[in-house]
Amino acid sequence: MIDFLVHALYLIGAGCFVFGIKKMSRVRTAQRGNRLAAAGMLLATVATFIALGNVNYTWILAGLIVGGTIGAILAKRVEMTSMPELVALFNGLGGAASFFVALSMFGSLYWDMLRDESVEITIAETIGGASTGVALALSLLVGGITLSGSVIAFAKLSGKMKGAPIILPARHAINLAAFAAMIVFGGLAVFATTGAVITGILMYAVLFISLALGVLLVIPIGGADMPVVISLLNSYSGIAAAMTGFVLLGARSGSEGALMLIVCGALVGAAGIILTGLMCKAMNRSLLNVLTGGFGDTGGSSSGDNSDYENVTSYSAEEAAMLLDGAPQVIIVPGYGLAVAQAQHAIAELDALLEKNDTVVKYAVHPVAGRMPGHMNVLLAEANISYDKLFDMDEINGEFKNTTVAIVVGANDVVNPAATNDPNSPIAGMPILNCHEAQNVIVIKRSLSPGYAGIKNELFEYPNTMMVFDDAKKAIQEMVKELKELG
């Protein structure tokens, strides 16, 4: 009877997750969807308490209180511009939680093996069978990569570590060797009759190699490829949870929630995979190309970049404001520079002022603008800019032709016409926002330094382009001031 109640609650919880995600497909219902999913989590937790029954709750309560407090503080304090870091951190914690559970399960079952030392047996024969053993190794492998990879991604995104790719010599060989070692060690640990002690050592070796591999895999990947990395690690954190679910299936106690881990892990895994695919498509690169890393490490710091430009015209914010005054339609193109400069509120102010002058204001958001999928949309939402003014690349690209002014705020490679004009460019074939088709383009940028791809941007030399060299926030605030004086 208790069993029935527990599983009924789990099933309702899983339903809450499914319908919660379904509601996330519309802005209007998304908040309700998220709350529904949270209710599902509460149900699943309550069901687990019922299943556990009369046990000692000291550690459990302590864990819930500590975790809940940290989680609530993080969620309340984080700046919207720092969302990519927070999501990277959460990915890592998810991966870690999964392999901790797997290790804890392994530990308690492992004692049986130690006690039985006279007989040489394998994990495949004792601890829940071969499939549990394999799931255990996979949980450690995926969870470990997720944790250490996310820590590196977090460090890069938060500026604690340089965003530039770090290229080790022979890194592909090292990575392949590490991967092969994990498969061999994991296989030996599960299937070989090496005795309990060595089995334990092998399992921990799998974990430590996977932790090292996570670091090795993420350090060669540069800042602007982070949307792909975060999406992929998001997927991994789901897969790690699902693998832990398979470990629990074979456990003697605490296996009630195993299917929940498998279901939710698969849902999260799918979300990450889809976002990864979308991000790669938006850069016209394969996942393998992104993951092997090192993209754009040729340019960046070389000092000769500025001299490569000819005919660049620099303007003041005042001249830019005169162009904006009375323009029928303005399209704003936000990029990572907007997040760095925290310019979203200044843009909202400019937006309001332009709309008062009967200018139609729209926003063109490239899928990989910023450091994670949807990063720009969240920042603009924070500044109270209505989401129906935000358009995807495909929706708005035809409109630049009929636009008086396109304002590029802190974006670079995603507006570089070389992607379509120059078949030899490193970014050839990458879909871009066709800003150059607008009658006038205002580019707000601190200098002529190249973007992530390390190449020069032809757009800056176009006759219809005005360069405003300044911090995004300052430049826009000045434009607002000048516009007010004109009006």
Partner 1 sequence: MGSLMLIAGLYVFVLALFLGVELITKVPPTLHTPLMSGANAISGITIVGALACATSAAFSGSNILGFLAIVLATINCVGGFAVTDRMLKMFAAPSKK
Using the rule CB under 8 A, is 34 a contact of partner 1? yes
Of 81, 94, 219, 476, the residue at the interface with partner 1 (CB under 8 A) is 94
**Out of 225, 351, 413, 470, which one is annotated catalytic?**
413
Per CB under 8 A, contacts with partner 1 among 131-170 are 131-132
Q: Please, what is the Cα angle at 25 between 24 and 29, to 5 degrees?
A: 55
Of 149, 165, 245, 450, the residue at the interface with partner 1 (CB under 8 A) is 245
Give catalytic status of residue 394 as yes or no: no
In sequence order, which residues have a C-beta less than 8 Å from that of residue 286 and are 6 or more positions away?
280
- Considering the complex, state which of residue 18 and residue 312 has its C-beta at the smaller distance from partner 1: 18
Q: Are 14 and 264 in contact (CB under 8 A)?
A: yes
- Considering the complex, state which of residue 42 and residue 428 has its C-beta at the smaller distance from partner 1: 42
Of 44, 157, 323, 407, the residue at the interface with partner 1 (CB under 8 A) is 44
Nearest residue to 162 (alpha-carbon basis) of 214, 221, 212: 221
Per CB under 8 A, contacts with partner 1 among 317-376 are 365, 367, 372-375
What's the rounded Cα separation, in Å, for the pair 322 and 483? 7
Residue 392: φ, ψ to 5°:
-75, 165
Size of the site for partner 1 (CB under 8 A): 119
- Considering the complex, state which of residue 253 and residue 298 has its C-beta at the smaller distance from partner 1: 253
Using the rule CB under 8 A, is 406 a contact of partner 1? no
Using the rule CB under 8 A, is 382 a contact of partner 1? yes
* Closest separation in Å from C-beta 257 to partner 1: 3
Distances, alpha carbon 271 to alpha carbons 239, 258, 347, 480, in Å: 11, 20, 31, 40
Of 122, 175, 199, 231, the residue at the interface with partner 1 (CB under 8 A) is 231
Of 107, 159, 328, 429, the residue at the interface with partner 1 (CB under 8 A) is 107
* Closest separation in Å from C-beta 481 to partner 1: 24
Using the rule CB under 8 A, is 66 a contact of partner 1? yes
The β-bridge partners of 445 are 469
Cα dihedral sign, 87-91-94-96: negative
Per CB under 8 A, contacts with partner 1 among 246-285 are 246, 248-251, 253-254, 256-275, 278
Q: Where are the alpha helices (DSSP H) in 357-471?
A: 375-382, 393-396, 418-421
Virtual torsion, Cα 246, 228, 406, 304, nearest 10 deg:
170
Per CB under 8 A, contacts with partner 1 among 169-228 are none
309 CB-contact burial (10 Å; exposed 0-12 / middle 13-18 / buried 19+): middle
Would you name the residues annotated as active-site residues? 413
